[in-house]
Amino acid sequence: MPALVAYFLAVRLSLDPIMEARQPSKLGKPYPLGQCLEIARAAEHAVRDRSQPHFDGLAGEGRRAYVNYMAAGGVFRRVWGDLRGKFFQNAFQLGTLYVDVSNDTVTPTKPKVEILPFAEADLNAIRDFGHFREIVQLYWGGRTYPNHLLPELAPYCPVIHINEFGIASVREPTDYMVAMTRGDRFASAQAILAEPAMPEPLFRLLAAGLAAQNCAPAASIEAGRRAGIEKCRKYRAKRWYANETISLKWIAEATRLKPIQTGAPKAQPHDARIMELKASLQATDQEIAELEARLAIARTARAAYARSALDLLAS
């Protein structure tokens, strides 16, 4: 395990200067905060690259262990889901191990790399769009609404998310989430679309923003709600959940959409940075408390061993 940690840490350290130069900040947060997907993708490419630079020492041992394991038919794949009921995380499954090379993208004081038995990681699959929305609100913050704007897209991407900076996006055109909605035959998307709508002024603002991107938004909230629910039923009847080509078309359609600014941000980037620093301080204080507790236990154990040794010498 230490050799694997050293190897994946060496990979991460080799990527950091490139990644930070490419994207110094994301949504007002400095690298690496919020960039778990970007880091995971880059690390996956680097690890699979056979021309990867030579690593010495413990990192070299880890690299050789990884190569030998893969040559023997091992499994190394990227996974994504709800980590410990708190946030989304991109990580890897390496056999029975959970490998996270972006462990510091929420709390920057944490180690960059975490490796542990997969069963202990508490990474859970996103069950449905209701579960997805819960983690969105915990992790990304902001507000979520049913996608009554784009009925044809809604069975695949039924959520509109407005983040803390007032930026609205259609969620979630990723392979995992599209596979999930296909897997439940658009049932959880239909359930989201039946929920209360966004405010009318917000609907009009977003509809205008989509029209400027050559989209054809619904004429009204109610029309969008009815049409979106009907599209879920229609796509189910046509068995579009089993059609890979159509799914890829809608992923491409959603991916091309640009985020829309809904107004003045609720928090400026420096405010977000202050919040991150406060969270980092709290995490550091917690780590210090844990270390002090472990130190106290170790001192107690040492005193007990010393007494036992003295008793033996005296007998």
Does residue 183 surpass a pLDDT of 70?
A: yes
Residues linked to residue 146 through DSSP beta bridges, in sequence order: 159
What is the rounded distance in angstroms from the CA atom of residue 69 to the CA atom of residue 63?
Answer: 10
Residue 64 has a pLDDT of: 93
How confident is the model over 254-263, as pLDDT tens digits? 999 999 999 7
Mean pLDDT over residues 129-152, rounded? Answer: 94
**Residue 272: CB partners within 8 Å, gap ≥ 6?**
27, 28, 29, 164
- Look up residue 53 and give its DSSP letter: P
Find the range with the poorest average confidence among 114-123, 134-143, 188-197, 294-303: 294-303
Mean pLDDT over residues 171-185, rounded? Answer: 92
CA-nearest of 29, 52, 258, 7 to 164 is: 29
Residue 111 has a pLDDT of: 94
Phi then psi for residue 162, to 5 deg, are: -115, 115
Does residue 286 surpass a pLDDT of 70?
A: no
Band (pLDDT 50/70/90 cuts) for residue 164 is confident
Helix (H, G, I), strand (E, B) or coil at 88: strand
- Look up residue 191 and give its DSSP letter: H
Does residue 294 surpass a pLDDT of 70?
A: no
Q: Which residue has the higher pLDDT, 224 or 89?
A: 224
Band (pLDDT 50/70/90 cuts) for residue 296 is low
Residue 9 has a pLDDT of: 95
Band (pLDDT 50/70/90 cuts) for residue 24 is very high
With contact defined as beta carbons under 8 Å apart, do 43 and 52 qualify? Answer: no
Find the range with the poorest average confidence among 40-49, 127-136, 196-205, 256-265: 256-265
Proportion of the chain above pLDDT 90, given as a percent: 70
Find the range with the poorest average confidence among 68-72, 216-220, 296-300: 296-300
